[in-house]
Structure 1
Amino acid sequence: MDLDKFIAIDVHVHAEVSCCDPEDPVMSEFMDATSKYFKADRKRPTIPETIELYREQNVAFVMFTVDIESAFGAKRIRNEEIAEFARDNSDIMIPFASIDPHKGKYGAREARMLIEEYGVKGFKFHPPMQDFHPSDRMAYPLYEVIAEYKLPAVFHTGHSGMGTGMPGGGGVKLKYGQPMLVDDAAADFPDMKFIMAHPSWPWTDESLSMALHKDNVFIDLSGWSPKYFPPQVIRYANGQLRHKMLFGSDFPLITPQAWIKAAKEVGFKEEVLPLILKENAARVLGLK
């Protein structure tokens, strides 16, 4: 990947439409609700359409699905499908995988296979949607594989747009999005890079503390327009955590161009914004 070609690296892009399988009816309910919450187009882009858009924007990106097969019974988009598109578009696209931690050692076997045979470069976890405590020993066989290869993993933190407005929040338990629940695992797996996704509201300060405390903890700023960031996010990004913050959009719910436009207007220092948009992610992803 020629980093000089890109203005940014988006570390948080969702695959929500499979080119092989029909939309799962359980996921349809959640996507109806998130479209309303984010005021986003209900028609989700395919993986090829996403690649085309990011090429037009000159933005490299990390893509993943979310495996919620155990908690909600929704068929995931196959990790292999994402990895195959990334293989054919390796100049711009980086594949992450998602494996439900409830799959235990079988999930760990899948992780190793995806790394070795499909070139997966990281993993995505969504504890509220996967219904698990992120430091539960159940997940450790999976973390052990990720740590062995010294790869990063994105963890959803904070409020969940998924389930917002649905009866009972769609059954999603927000408590598992508390960032400090990840701290035990981050301490136990120093060779694994933990990326705390989103500004983590209403627990923003926990993510900031963890990123300050542990060299293997980072924060991606996806899921919110920068104009809505809690002020301490901007303050720490401009100071002690300037090398720990990563650009993420949460596409397709937020577009990269909209996020970048807003980020230029919220008070990030001129010398800090390039770190957030590209340099920090390049280092965390092992691209430089």
Structure 2
Amino acid sequence: MDASAAYFGAGGNRTPTVEDIAAHYRERNMAAVIFTVDAATALGHPALSSEEIAEAAAEHPDVLVPFGSVDPHGGAEAVARARRLVTGHGVRGFKFHPSLQGFAPGDPEYYPLYEALQELGVPALFHTGQTGIGAGLPGGRGIKLRYSDPMLIDDVAADFPGLTIVLAHPSVPWQDEAISIATHKANVYIDLSGWSPKYFPPQLVRAASRQLRHKVLFGSDFPLITPDRWLADFDGLDIAPEARPLILKENAVRVLGL
């Protein structure tokens, strides 16, 4: 957490509860997708409980949309747990962090999991590009960036055309690849979380304003980047006026089935 906070220049409460998050967004008349990342195999310690997060989020349905996370290395049990999270706990999508979880997302070993998500009709959100987790630590804490190359997700998008996929974050240093995939695959979107908009690559700003205006989604990365900070910096971007409501709300309404 200290390394991530230094990377993002973040302050304030870095470990908010679900109730804290709900209150923060309700005060702003906004909604948030919340989740943990289950990287138990790669990190060697158990994750926060997606079940508990979903149950807590259910107390705040006006502002919170729960996503689940399963360890991709879990095989058949990961698939079964994903199904239980959707049918029994109201999870609306799944978060993957290939670098943190230590897996190559395009490996067919993980295809039964994607098949289940496609069948369940919930989106898959994949971290892409650089990560603040482990940043500046020796060996980056063992986290390998190459697993978060969005081109590794292109196979998944091609082989599961009914699975909605969101490439999380500006995918630096693979931004052009992410734009190409989102342009080519109707089922692939890009979210804009994890970076202050003032640091967005210029080609991402152009695409968000033009050919991908229906394919990009607002996101902050709370608590490391707050929505207030993100929106203030977004106001300074050269984004077409007609694209702004799509990016800030309408695209997410469609992707999340709200």
What TM-score range do you get, normalising by the shorter chain? over 0.9
Q: How many Å apart are 1:43 and its aligned residue?
A: 3.9
Number of the residue aligned with 1:37? 7
Amino acid aligned to 2:106: S
2:31 aligned with 1:60: yes
Q: How many Å apart are 1:127 and its aligned residue?
A: 0.2
2:124 alignment partner, SS class:
strand
Q: Of Structure 1 and Structure 2, which has the larger fraction of its residues in strand? A: 1
Q: Please, which runs of 5 or more residues in structure 1 have no aligned partner? A: 1-30
Q: How many Å apart are 1:181 and its aligned residue?
A: 0.6
Q: Which runs of 4+ in 1 moved over 3 A?
A: none
CA distance in 1, matches of 2:167, 2:190: 5
Amino acid aligned to 1:37: Y
Q: How many Å apart are 1:130 and its aligned residue?
A: 0.5
Q: How many Å apart are 1:154 and its aligned residue?
A: 0.7
1:155 alignment partner, SS class:
strand
2:120 aligned with 1:145: no
How many matched pairs? 257
CA distance in 2, matches of 1:163, 1:261: 27
Percent sequence identity is 55
What CA RMSD, in Å, does the superposition of the two structures yield over aligned residues? Answer: 0.9
Q: How many Å apart are 1:32 and its aligned residue?
A: 1.7
2:171 aligned with 1:185: no
Amino acid aligned to 2:2: D
Number of the residue aligned with 2:239? 268
1:206 alignment partner, SS class:
helix
TM-score when normalising by structure 2: 0.98
Number of the residue aligned with 1:176? 147
2:204 alignment partner, SS class:
helix
Q: How many Å apart are 1:74 and its aligned residue?
A: 2.6
Matches within 5 A, 1:210-249: 210-249=181-220
Amino acid aligned to 2:9: K
Structure 1 residue corresponding to 2:171, chosen from 192, 200, 210: 200
Number of the residue aligned with 2:254? 283
Could you list the per-position Cα deviations for residues 183-240 of structure 1 after superposition, in whole angstroms to 9, with x for gaps in the alignment? 0011111111110001100000000000000000000001101110010111111111
1:97 alignment partner, SS class:
coil
TM-score when normalising by structure 1: 0.88
CA distance in 2, matches of 1:73, 1:51: 30
2:58 alignment partner, SS class:
helix
Number of the residue aligned with 1:99? 70
2:92 aligned with 1:121: yes
Amino acid aligned to 1:145: A
CA distance in 2, matches of 1:169, 1:237: 31
CA distance in 2, matches of 1:43, 1:280: 28
